[in-house]
Copies of this chain bind each other. A is one copy, B any other.
Amino acid sequence: MKVYLAGPEVFLPNAREVLDAKIALAQRYGFTPVSPGDLEIPAYETKRGHGLAISAVNEKLMLSAEMIIANLTPFRGIAADVGTVYELGFMCARNCPAYGFSNVARDHFERLKAYYGGAVHPDAQGRPRGPDGLAVEDFEMIENLMLDGGIEARGGAFVTREVAAEAMFTDLGAFEECLSIAARRLLARH
């Protein structure tokens, strides 16, 4: 089974090394991994043309895959990388099994409370809100409910793990757990 390995690892200084480690792990569990960077980017004339070419290649790779494992570790803020989230929604619309992992164990509600310095209080209807008036989702979910919901509806799993800050984007323990769960479930079906 071809699995698309989505995540912000492409932005790391040692992107190739981490992507290669993910590819090797996925193969060890019997999957055929595809990941950003697997296809050559066609020639382009402008920066924007370059970006569009990468987007087109990633979409092509997704269309060639039957499953996704998305690295949803909070990226430059309290939420997952939006490029990865786009890809998760894309694969969920195609009804592919979808797995997610995060190397931050605190859930969405806890991260939002920290973001607001603890100042989250119920409004007149009992709905928690930050000092800016914005509602704070409290659904016992790891991320925004569309992400947790999309993964669960496709029979996937969302695995979290607390890792050292310096290993936030390189620790592959939670990723490997996704592979292990997905491989077991696929075998159980046969």
Q: Contact residues of A with B, CB < 8 Å?
A: 8, 10-13, 15, 46-48, 50-52, 54-56, 58-59, 62, 76-83, 85-94, 112, 115, 123, 129, 133-135, 137-141, 143-150, 152-153
Contact = CB atoms under 8 A, between A and B. Distances in A.
A91 B89 CA distance: 8
A51 B135 CA distance: 14
Contact of A147 (B59, B86, B93, B147): B86
A21 B47 CA distance: 37
Contacts of A79: 76-77, 79, 81-82
A76 B146 contact: no
Contact of A77 (B54, B77, B86, B92): B77
A145 B76 contact: no
Contact of A88 (B76, B86, B148): B86
A42 to B, nearest CB: 13
Contacts of A153: 52, 55-56, 59
Given A59-B149, A86-B150, 8 more contacts: A51-B140, A55-B146, A76-B79, A77-B78, A81-B144, A83-B145, A85-B85, A89-B92
A93 to B, nearest CB: 4
A126 to B, nearest CB: 12
Contact of A145 (B52, B147, B150): B52
B94 A144 contact: no
A88 B8 CA distance: 18
B13 A123 contact: yes
Contact of A55 (B46, B48, B51, B145): B145
A153 to B, nearest CB: 7
Contacts of A145: 51-52, 54-55, 83
Contact of A82 (B50, B85, B152): B85
